[in-house]
Structure 1
């Protein structure tokens, strides 16, 4: 991806500075780089609905028997919801304060936006736009989930997946065991296919960056740097402020001792960019370094690898608002609230694998009127940011496990 980013930037800048080269640049973007980028986006959209549905249902069903878990399960859900909400609020406040997407030529941005919207309409099969007010609130609950999926109504599909997962948890286990296996199989197949699609990402990154730099010139580099800085800043606030306060308040642990105990899984998460791959190291650190009860550590960390993705939620929120700012699309408070809710739920429905959030970002962009092709601007730096946000995700899992154990019964601490 970095090679594609570099090549696209260099050739795009050369095309932007070349005198009298507008004709051939337009031909290349129209007939070569544009269609190749569209193919990548179409493949992502083809898989995003089954991915979100299967990942969200699997994340809920992994909670097990809610009745028997009682306070442990409720505390885990509560802390996960609170930390996820705080992470997205921090991200949206920071991106609106810094406004990293501002500064490009408005006329060029508008012209490219309209051109990209035409391509997005061809992909989605519908016009862009977002309902507002009471209509938007009611649309969260789908009257027809099949139609909601066909319309790429991501929030409605997520609500249905949550309800479906809860239904599977409370239903008799012997009646849903086959269905649970089928949903897990769907998730595995979808992840495998997305793995194949992601292999095309370097080509897509080259095409997207060539198109953008040919249009905007060096302004793209400045805006991209501001975006990376905003994401890192939001992740840092969650890491060094929110997590230590939560661990101290609910578990009575100091931040130095906590971070010393979780440094090994943090480093592994950063290097692999995969919450799932880091799970064994996180379990080991929770039991040997943090001295957490095995029952609580295994329950919370297993769920957290899929359901607690604070860093991913923050990245998605910053990315969507940044790209809206870049292309001059002003989002109302209601629309930003909708983005926040989708990002919180997306933290549950995002797969714990490298680049697992990219399909979610693409479809959120479409829901707020920003063409999914805009994702090309951030693809080149996604790998580094993926490593950073995965480290935050894993640290958040361990923080929640510590908070749950710290507020548990004495018997739980010695189990």
Structure 2
């Protein structure tokens, strides 16, 4: 077989290989030589460390324009709001509610089981100081006024460009939400062109993110080598605990919260619901992409669940970007896990901030594999956790991405079912199985 016909390994396989190479190499150094050896310190400071930093800096460079364009486009897609009447408002409110429930479940699980505890404080502090002097300096920690209780005042930027220049993510996201609402309310040829321009910006950012993610296998190997050389076997134990807590929180949301919503608000049997949407769940799990699953979700919503076509298309299309409650849950679990791992004690106020950012980030997260990585990296830096720690979870992220994408797509169909129940009588007639 020639080089031109040799099949390429999927990116998630390369990421797993990079994870294993870095992990095994770091463990070998930790067990045989020790992480304090001068040449190991030189290697981590001058080779593997900077290589991982390049990957993180590229993510930071793209995160704000990506989030801004994704949020604006997601809200602007509610252009059918006047046509659908109450459907748009109901879908937005229910999306925020169910995303908040998801994040709360994740935060409670992490605080109860504390999967990141038990690491040697001296080693954690060593890596924490490295993170503060490295990539974390790009975005800084949370502003002092947030910790002083002026959180809601700081949500409204006096100058959005200054907020963007200072990497204050929350004010920029609030401005993006207001900007999207303005596009929905203002209908003119000029605003349509502006919407198309922002959609073009989103597409460019998505392309660049996809290019950056291709560097992830090398970055993972470098980041994992640094972490494993410092922490040794403790790393494996903590990582297994993290996966268990994340999957457990997702399972509670999938098999407890969703059935309750379907039975009480959606007026449908949960067993029938899950049976009718199983094809969409399989596709979302295998592709790890809400966007790639959208055509199947639309078909099962209309043909299997019997939802009104107009409402199903509106809710599911917007939901593919704006209803990422599985991603919001994962982001919250990841941030608190890494905070525990590095000994960063987050107050209830800071955890509340994390929850809000995760909910908003769920709206702005791209519906593609690994689309949540830029948001997680930004939140980590906001609360003073070294973004390098993201290397801990990248190796297992593909499996968790498949799980949370399934949760996202199922959540879209839950919202569509709930909204359809109240709007069926007022919806414009759709030709019945005609």
TM-score, normalised via structure 2 length: 0.93
Answer whether contact 2:136 2:381 (CA < 8 A) is retained: no
Alignment of 1:145-184 (within 5 A): 145-184=160-199
Aligned residue among 131, 154, 157 for 1:139: 154
Aligned partners of 1:395, 1:108: CA distance in 2, in Å?
A: 41
Two-structure CA RMSD over aligned residues (Å): 1.4
Aligned residue among 83, 104, 123 for 1:89: 104
Tell me, yes or no, if structure 1 residue 12 matches structure 2 residue 26: yes
Tell me, yes or no, if structure 1 residue 274 matches structure 2 residue 295: no
Tell me, yes or no, if structure 1 residue 265 matches structure 2 residue 304: no
Note the alpha carbon deviations across 1:289-337, whole angstroms, 9 max, x for none: 1111111110110010000001100000000000000000000111000
The structural deviation recorded for 1:67 is: 2.8
Length, aligned pairs only:
414
The structural deviation recorded for 1:128 is: 6.6
The structural deviation recorded for 1:251 is: 2.3
Aligned partners of 2:141, 2:420: CA distance in 1, in Å?
A: 49
Match of 1:351 in 2: 366
Aligned residue among 79, 88, 97 for 1:73: 88
Match of 2:79 in 1: 64
Aligned partners of 2:357, 2:316: CA distance in 1, in Å?
A: 23
Match of 1:188 in 2: 203
Note the alpha carbon deviations across 1:19-72, whole angstroms, 9 max, x for none: 467122111101110000000001001100000000000000001143332111
Aligned residue among 383, 388, 396 for 1:373: 388
Aligned partners of 2:206, 2:127: CA distance in 1, in Å?
A: 32
Match of 2:70 in 1: 55
* Structure 2 alignment gaps of length 5 or more: 1-14
- Between stretches 130-139 and 269-278, larger displacement belongs to 130-139
Answer whether contact 1:129 1:368 (CA < 8 A) is retained: no
Answer whether contact 2:141 2:383 (CA < 8 A) is retained: no
TM-score, normalised via structure 1 length: 0.97
Moved over 4 A (4+): 126-130
Please state whether the residue corresponding to 2:78 is helix, strand or coil.
Answer: coil
Please state whether the residue corresponding to 1:63 is helix, strand or coil.
Answer: helix
Please state whether the residue corresponding to 1:412 is helix, strand or coil.
Answer: coil
The structural deviation recorded for 1:121 is: 4.8
The structural deviation recorded for 1:137 is: 2.6
Tell me, yes or no, if structure 1 residue 226 matches structure 2 residue 226: no
Answer whether contact 1:5 1:202 (CA < 8 A) is retained: yes
The structural deviation recorded for 1:122 is: 4.6
Aligned residue among 314, 317, 326 for 1:311: 326
Q: 1:228 to 1:393 in 2, by over 3 A?
A: same
The structural deviation recorded for 1:177 is: 0.8
Aligned partners of 1:116, 1:251: CA distance in 2, in Å?
A: 46
Answer whether contact 2:84 2:427 (CA < 8 A) is retained: no
Answer whether contact 1:80 1:308 (CA < 8 A) is retained: yes
Match of 2:5 in 1: none
Answer whether contact 2:136 2:384 (CA < 8 A) is retained: no
Aligned partners of 2:416, 2:347: CA distance in 1, in Å?
A: 36
Match of 1:26 in 2: 41
Answer whether contact 1:117 1:128 (CA < 8 A) is retained: no
Tell me, yes or no, if structure 1 residue 123 matches structure 2 residue 123: no
Aligned partners of 2:239, 2:363: CA distance in 1, in Å?
A: 27
Match of 2:342 in 1: 327
Q: 1:128 to 1:411 in 2, by over 3 A?
A: closer
Answer whether contact 1:306 1:352 (CA < 8 A) is retained: yes
Please state whether the residue corresponding to 1:410 is helix, strand or coil.
Answer: coil
Aligned partners of 1:324, 1:225: CA distance in 2, in Å?
A: 16
Q: 1:385 to 1:334 in 2, by over 3 A?
A: same
Q: 1:310 to 1:114 in 2, by over 3 A?
A: same
Aligned partners of 1:129, 1:370: CA distance in 2, in Å?
A: 14
Aligned partners of 1:352, 1:246: CA distance in 2, in Å?
A: 23
Aligned residue among 342, 349, 353 for 1:338: 353
Answer whether contact 1:312 1:393 (CA < 8 A) is retained: yes
Aligned residue among 377, 381, 387 for 1:362: 377
Answer whether contact 1:405 1:413 (CA < 8 A) is retained: no
Q: 1:95 to 1:5 in 2, by over 3 A?
A: same
- Between stretches 26-35 and 59-68, larger displacement belongs to 59-68
The structural deviation recorded for 1:285 is: 0.5
Match of 1:396 in 2: 411
Aligned partners of 2:426, 2:75: CA distance in 1, in Å?
A: 26
Note the alpha carbon deviations across 1:155-176, whole angstroms, 9 max, x for none: 1110000000001110123230
- Between stretches 142-151 and 260-269, larger displacement belongs to 142-151
Tell me, yes or no, if structure 1 residue 2 matches structure 2 residue 16: yes
Aligned partners of 1:392, 1:194: CA distance in 2, in Å?
A: 23
The structural deviation recorded for 1:9 is: 1.0
Answer whether contact 2:286 2:402 (CA < 8 A) is retained: yes
Answer whether contact 1:121 1:128 (CA < 8 A) is retained: no
